[in-house]
Amino acid sequence: MDSLLDQVNTFVNRKVLPRVEYFDKNNIYPTELINIMKSIGLFGLTIPKRYSGLEADMITRVKVIEELSSGWLSLCSLLDSHLRVCDYIVHFGTDEQKDNFLPLLAKGKLVAAHANNEKNMKNLEHLETCLVMVDGSLEKWSLSGRKEWISNAVHADIFAVSARIVKQDDILKSISSCVVLVQKDQNGLKIEKDWHRMGVKGVSLAAVTFNKCLIESKDIVGHFHYDGKTIVDSSQQKLALVSSARSIGICKRLIQTCASYLWQRTRNGIIGSLTQEPVVCMRFGELITKFQAALALFNDCCANIDSTDRTKFISCKSFVTGISKDIAVSCVQLFGAAGYTSEYGIERLTRDALSLTIIHSPADISLTQLGQMSLENYKLKEQNPSSILLHYAPQVLANMKREFLLRATLEEQERIVNIGSYRDSNIKLYLYDMTTMNPSASFKDFLGCLTFAHCLQNDIKCICAQSSGNTAMSFIHYARKVSSIKLIQFYLTRNSYKINSTVVPDNVILVEVNSTEADMKLILARFSKLTGIPCMPNFNIQCDANKTRAYFIKDYCVENNINFNWYVQSLSSAYGPIGLYQGFSDIGQQVKPPKLLGIQQEAVCPFARALGYWNDATDDKHDNVAVVEPTLFRSDPGELINKVKNILDTHGGKIKVLTNNKFQQYIDEAIHLLELHKIHITRLADGGILEKAGLLSLAATMHEIDEHNSGAFSANEAILIGITGGTGCPATQKPKPKMVLNGNPTDEQLMLILE
């Protein structure tokens, strides 16, 4: 990252600043500057390397924008618009769209512009720009409408256009809007004149009209697999942070320009510069104080970039952009009459700073939204102060329907159980999430609650899910509460005893899969792609649900005056630790995060292989990119591996592989240890059910202690062992699936599920 930022810094100082006043004054498109940006690789900043991009993370993107803004805001407007379109294709595009567009976008051979804004726009359901089917074919569509305020409209090669889908014959029931890729030379596309405006000059800002543009389905991002709202909303949090980065960059340039002027400027009768005037120093001190406050809030958001608390990012955008305007005005006042001229550049910076309070979302609208969200949250806390959801997960609730969350059945129960030491090792063991043995207080219950709250919030009418049984019962439980949402629930034949048919409502379709869990997940991914029905819970919901565990741990540590040295959990997919450590980040310094001991069994250990803890690659199918719990509809396996690596690098720890023989050796001993503490485990339908992952974590912990010198633990350390899983809700009647799938079903068989 440092090398790239150094290049951008050099570019700004040597190429941008010497000519920016010329480009701005004459409103000239900076072709030569843009060509340099292309050569540096900025147009492929966030595009994966396999498509010729730099594959930079969000922090790098933010820092690049900050650096560019300190030179010329117009370059950021162009690049932001381009990168937003790139994000859509990277995260939602089909393989064909990625192959066709991303390499060209990364090199800047295609420059993209984002076309979403309309004059009377409320949300995507009320868009005037619409997509109409041609001749009853899903392959051909007609696009008509008008988009306003498009950055770089005149020089863009391709536009990402949000559009409302006009339904015909109940086709595409699951989506109401989409994002369309439209080439500049498309018949029916017309670029209006460049708006004459106060600031952000050089790069065009214009309207674009679409008059019955013929669109093929291959040009619809994701080919109808994703609703337009999902695609557009995916970038909202990024936009808030990027807007803040623009403001920070322009503030730095304002302050530097002002300080330079004050040191050089003298007055008649005064020896030395204006910096010797107390009132000038006071005003400059006020300016610096405002900037430091804005910078602190901005840095906090950067440090918590994975947080789902939207209020934090809205606050940051509103405050920082407002501060940039205040600093600009203060600088003009310190310049005096000279600040009103274009001689020193302060006039251009002020004009550009004013635009930041309007770009993306006007400050007043952002503050109104922030106030509404916060007031609703405070009201609910007052109405139901004992709600475990409101107490433990304030950040998680920011975007959810509060009235639904309050219906959750999660109860206050004992979550952490001290089971003493193992074999007189002086290492204290604690079992975590013991409420999984109680269906009315389980983590799975919270996962189901968050999933259906997310669907209500985003007007999702149909979802599909897979489960070995425990999550399935939670989802079925909440489907009973929300009859407007259809649930298509896949489950394994061997776990059918966990599905209680007596509680399955009419809006739930059961699909039994007579195969392995990995096959079931791949079948579900195919079904989702084929039908456009979203798979739940998605990556963010998984992490949000796991975040709450950090709050439980924090309370236990405070109440019992203890700090855990290690946290042990099976890494079947890593959502648990990733969410947990995000929760620790939200909590801050109230509790020190423990080191992570990630457990994997020899049979499948992609994290251990990927990070160098296990080299016995005897089976090619266990390639680390292909096997990280094959839920490809949730997240990129490589991303999961990197997140686990970041946890280990930041907090310490390691990954342990428990061989199949050792697992069998310790499993009976682990169950016996639980029974000594009156925790009775059974695999039958007449009692509590602990999933294999929980026993694996406990067995591996016992083995690690037995290893003595080579083990990770030290004497007197406190070890917290995650044993998530459990339904405690045995079936009284066998499930009645609509279909039973065997092996590798055809597309036609999968489509029969919806009939």
Backbone φ and ψ of 677, nearest 5°:
-105, 25
Q: Which residues contact 255 (CB under 8 A, 6 or more apart)?
A: 287, 288, 291, 327, 331
Phi and psi, residue 45, nearest 5°: -55, -45
What is the pTM for the complete model shown? 0.58
Instruction: Give 14: exposed, middle or buried? Use CB within 10 Å, 0-12, 13-18, 19+.
Output: exposed
Residues in CB range of 81: below 8 A, 6 or more apart = 112, 113, 114, 150, 151, 152, 156
Q: C-alpha 643: how far from its chain's center?
A: 13
CA–CA dist 364, 430 (Å, integer):
49
In this structure, which amino acid lies at residue 737?
P
Domains of the chain, first to last: 2-110 (1.10.540.10), 114-231 (2.40.110.10), 236-366 (1.20.140.10), 416-437+541-722 (3.40.50.1100)
Q: 48 preceded by cis ω (within 30°)?
A: no
**Distances, alpha carbon 65 to alpha carbons 247, 326, 452, in Å:** 10, 21, 36
Structure tokens at 458: 């985003």
| The pLDDT value given to residue 502 | 66
**423: which DSSP letter?**
T
Alpha-carbon distance of 371 to 376, in angstroms, equals 8
Q: State the Cα–Cα distance between residues 565 and 652, nearest whole angstrom.
A: 10
Average pLDDT, the chain: 81
Q: How far is 521 from 503, CA to CA, in rounded Å?
A: 24
Q: What is the rounded CA–CA span in Å between residue 281 and residue 315?
A: 29
* Tally of CB atoms within 10 A around 686: 7
Beta strands per DSSP E along 326-390: none
Q: Which run of H or of E encompasses 649?
A: helix 637-651
Please give the span between the terminal C-alpha atoms of the chain, in angstroms, as a whole number.
52
Which residues, in sequence order, are CB contacts of 196 under 8 Å at separation 6+?
Answer: none
Q: Token pair of 200, please? A: 């952000």
Distance CA 467, CA 476 (A): 11
How many Å separate Cα 711 from the centre of its chain? Answer: 35
Residue 173 CA: distances (Å) to CA of 139, 168, 378, 683: 16, 10, 36, 40
The CA distance from 742 to 509, in Å, is 17
The conformation of residue 147, written as its DSSP 8-state character, comes to E
Q: Identify the three-state secondary structure at position 597.
A: strand
How far apart CA 351 and CA 328 sit, in angstroms, is 9
The helix or strand, by DSSP H or E, that contains position 332, with its residue range, turns out to be helix 310-335
Contact 249, 69 (CB under 8 A): yes
What is the model's pLDDT at position 457? 74
Distance between CA atoms of residues 53 and 107, nearest Å: 8
Distance CA(124)–CA(592), nearest Å, equals 43
The residues with which 429 forms a beta bridge, in sequence order, are: 719
List, for residues 597-642, the tens digit of each pLDDT value.
Answer: 988 877 667 667 777 777 664 444 444 444 445 444 455 667 778 8
- d(CA 26, CA 85) in angstroms, rounded, equals 29
The tokens describing 409, both together, are 């059945």
* Per-residue pLDDT at 615: 67
Peptide bond into 606 cis (omega under 30): no
Residue type, position 635, single letter? S
The first and second tokens of residue 388, run together, are 């475990």
* Beta partners for residue 606, in sequence order: none
Please state at what angle helix 236-264 crosses helix 310-335, rounded to 10 degrees: 20
Average pLDDT along the chain, 755 residues, taken 10 residues at a time = 88 96 94 97 95 92 96 95 95 91 97 92 77 86 94 97 79 77 95 90 95 94 83 81 94 94 72 75 94 94 74 88 94 86 87 88 78 66 45 46 49 67 81 56 73 81 83 82 88 75 82 85 86 87 82 82 89 82 81 88 72 61 44 60 87 86 80 70 45 77 78 85 60 74 89 89
Distance separating alpha carbons of residues 33 and 73, to the nearest angstrom: 13
Amino acid letter for position 511:
V
The residues pairing with 513 across neighbouring beta strands, listed in sequence order, are 492, 741
pLDDT at 687: 41
Look at residue 439 in the predicted model and tell me its pLDDT.
45
Tokens at 753, concatenated: 């599920």
Distinct helix (H) and strand (E) counts, the chain: 25, 17
Residue 281, SS3 per DSSP: helix
Q: What distance in Å separates the CA atoms of residue 211 and residue 379, rounded to the nearest whole number?
A: 47
**Cα–Cα dist 607/574, whole Å:** 9
Distance CA 753, CA 755 (A): 6
What are φ and ψ of residue 737, in 5° steps? -70, 150
